Amino acid sequence: MSEIKAVFRGADVRDEFLAVMSETFSQEAVERKRRAWDWLFKAPFRTETNPARVLTIERAGRLVGGVFLLPTEVTLDGVPTPAVLPIGNNIRPNDRGAGMVTLKTCFNLGHGGITVGLASSDRLSAVWVRLGAAESPPRTLCRKLYRPGSILALRGRLPRMLGGPLDAVFRLPLAIIGIMRPSQRKTERIVPIETFGPEFDTAWEAARPSVKCAISRTSAHLQWRHIESPFPAGRCLALYRDRKLAGYVAITIAPTGSGPAGRVTDIFAYTGTARDYGLLLAAADAEFMRARCTYGEIAYGCSKAIDTAAWRAGFFSRKQTRPLNLGHENPDARADLPRLAADMHFCRADHDEDY
């Protein structure tokens, strides 16, 4: 069998890459990557040593797989560190060995920082660990039901005529749950975000020294991710206290087979307190209810403050999802990754689940 080669390519490889991707991904996923392609190459954390590029895997001059290497920045113990997010990883099913070449290359990119992987299976995550990556605790996906009757009726588990009455009955426990949420003080307000300006850098720089592990929340990154994206957040809201920025939340509302669903795609409280996360979740909760969502959800990693706030806000339905894998090119820094991975702030918008 001919030798497998790893080759770095630029934006011009799009059609070849997507053609191979279509063999293992849904057409919807392929089209999302097509729409996002040019935007991905404008990632704000790109540098000469850590550019936006595509790692292609080739055999006998034929592309058999690849992965998009998205440049980003991760703050580790308060220190900004170059990072790469491998996304859209795909290998032709019959090309054995190509997947291992991809993973090994991702750990030796020469960017001097870390690689953050979100494995698509437990088996792949185990391979990352064997290659030296640290594994975070499983991420948590929480849901809050707003209209259980409508969900059951749409799924054929309840007569349609009973869906509405059950929704009405469910409003009482929702009202009781609302009492558990923190209420805004006179000095606090929630306002829509039209652009992520310099004040977001000021707030991030003040919070950064206490951050153990998180994608750096600079204004350029937030503007690129939530405003300039071909798949922008449906709504971004900021929390102010005494006219000072205290946090933000980004949400989307998307159609599903059970009706509209609300998703918290990104959330960050600069104080790190459960109360501020609770205020931000309450704002998202109100948006979801106003849009008559059947349910709302939030996925996050390793945050006790968010966990507490989500519980108090009524996001009771919970399940664990796959962990993250972190690798570092510096052997000395690699030894400290398990400690940092155990406290990683990671939201849906930090990876490519929506693009």
Give the number of domains in the chain.
Answer: 2
Which of these three, 109, 138, 167, is where a domain ends? 138
One domain for residues 8 and 132: yes
One domain for residues 198 and 72: no
Report if residue 346 sits inside a domain: no
Q: What is the pLDDT along the chain (355 residues), one digit of tens a residue?
A: 578 889 999 999 999 999 999 998 999 999 999 999 999 999 999 999 999 999 999 988 889 999 999 999 999 999 999 999 999 998 887 777 788 888 888 888 888 899 998 887 778 788 888 888 888 988 999 999 887 656 666 666 666 666 566 666 566 566 666 666 788 999 999 999 999 999 999 999 999 999 999 999 999 999 999 999 999 888 999 999 999 999 999 999 998 877 889 999 999 999 999 999 999 999 999 999 999 899 999 999 888 999 999 999 889 889 998 889 999 988 888 889 999 999 999 999 999 989 8
One domain for residues 89 and 156: no
One domain for residues 29 and 174: no
Report if residue 352 sits inside a domain: no
CB contact set of 267 (below 8 Å; sequence gap of 6+):
247, 248, 249, 250, 277, 280, 281, 284, 298, 300, 306, 347
One domain for residues 173 and 222: yes
Report if residue 256 sits inside a domain: yes
Q: If DSSP codes are grouped into helix, strand and coil, which group holds residue 67?
A: strand
Report if residue 46 sits inside a domain: yes
| Residue 128, domain extent | 4-138
**Pair type for strands 317-321 and 53-59:** unpaired
Report if residue 349 sits inside a domain: no
Q: Which residue is listed with tokens 């009706």?
A: 259
**Pair type for strands 213-215 and 344-347:** parallel
Cα–Cα separations (whole angstroms), residue 321 to 98, 140, 332: 26, 6, 29
Cα–Cα separations (whole angstroms), residue 302 to 135, 180, 310, 324: 12, 22, 13, 11
One domain for residues 268 and 226: yes
Residue 230, domain CATH: 3.40.630.30
Report if residue 335 sits inside a domain: no
Q: If DSSP codes are grouped into helix, strand and coil, which group holds residue 114?
A: strand
One domain for residues 225 and 264: yes
pTM for the model stands at 0.91
